[in-house]
Structures are given as C-alpha cells and as structure tokens.
A and B are shown apart, each in its own frame.
Chain A
Amino acid sequence: MEIKGKVFKYGDDINTDVIMPGRWCHLFKSEDLKRHCLEDLDKNFAGNVKVGDLIVAGDNFGCGSSREVAPLSIKSCGVSAIIAKSYARIFYRNAINIGLPIFESLEAVAAIENGHEVSVDMAAGKIINHTIGRDFTFIPFPEFMRDILSQGGIKDYVLSRLK
C-alpha cells in the first residue's frame, strides 16, 4: 500500500489500553477492531480515518499490554504507517511481525501537525510533509527487521525455519 494520507496526531505514551480497550480484547474480526480503534483516546478517529492515513505520535507509542489487536486494529482502519518519536518494544515487534510500517523520527514528529498531508518513500528513506513542503529522514531499521517488513510480515521467515 502507498504510504500517503492525512495525519492524525497524538501525544506521548499512547498505551494499548486506549488503542484497543481491554473490554474489547475478545473481538478479533477486522470490522470490530476498526470500530473500537482508539475509542478511549479519540472517539472520532474510527469514523474519520481513511485508507492511507497516518498516525503521528510522541514517545513510547504502544506501551502497556502485549495485545496484538492494538496494531491490528490500526491496520484494519487502513492506516498506512505510524511515525513516532519512539515505540514500546512489544508494540514495535508486533507491528513488524504483522507488516504494519512504523517509523521513528524526532524531527518529523516535531514538524508534523494534525491534518497535514504526509507520505513516506521507503526506498529513499524519507518522510515528506507535503503541507509545509519539507522532508525528513527516519531512523533506518536493523537489517533483519527490514527483511521482515519487505516480506510483509514474519510469516515467510518462520515457515522457512520450519524446513
């Protein structure tokens, strides 16, 4: 999927309880995950988000529970990427494993506001803010994770280890 769309911007320490509240953690269907995504943080998110849109946030995005329904719910909404200052590690792993692109860039987060038009050029390693006409580089992934992301998730790697 092309990474290009409108930005929904949030602050620091966005935890998995507000991304996908515990009371809905027994829902696994994509429509249900989509409906409840971020509901305790921004009740308008699920209704307004469009395919391709991006989430931009501060430090420690995805802290808390290991629930994989958190990144899955974001993916189900059609979000093409997350750009944050930093991620909590289980969320980071889960996002890589399910092939949800996530990027780290302090400068980009500082210069992107809610509603800006942003795209990411993976090959060039660039985050482009079309609204203000500036680009930023993101912190490159370690090689192993780059491979997993380019395969759209961990599946092929795991199945190759089984042979």
Chain B
Amino acid sequence: MSRVIVDVMLKPEIHDPQGDAVLSASHRLGFSNVSRVRQGKRFELEIDGPADEKEIEELARELLANPVIEEFTLRSAD
C-alpha cells in the first residue's frame, strides 16, 4: 500500500472569502502579525500497490480539484 497526499488550493487570483474571515478572526484573537490566509483542502489517499503518479494526477484534475478555480500538488506520504 502507498499513501499520497493531494493538496488543493484556490488559484491565487481567485478571491478566498473564507481565508479572509480566518485572517480577521486571527487579528481579533491578537495574532496581529498574520498578514494573509488562504484556505485549502488536503486529501489523503491510500492506494493498493504502488502509486501511479499519472493516474492520481488525473483523479485530482477530474474530481478532487476544479481546474477552473483550483490548483493541486501531489506528494508521497510514504
């Protein structure tokens, strides 16, 4: 079994109101040096056998991320 982590983030040019809300809450809590927050998603995949990077990339592009608004990165967790 292999494990792969896929991180999905909104593209930099897409407004992230959730990140903005977390930023202002951070300031209210006194963490005044936080200057920017972007919120994303992390998927942990367990694959039977060795991970085929091309196949996981396709899964990320087709399902885990919406390429219109999001970008993703893959990395092995083994």
Tell whether A pairs with B: no
Q: Measuring CB to CB, which residues of chain B are less than 8 angstroms from any residue of chain A?
A: none
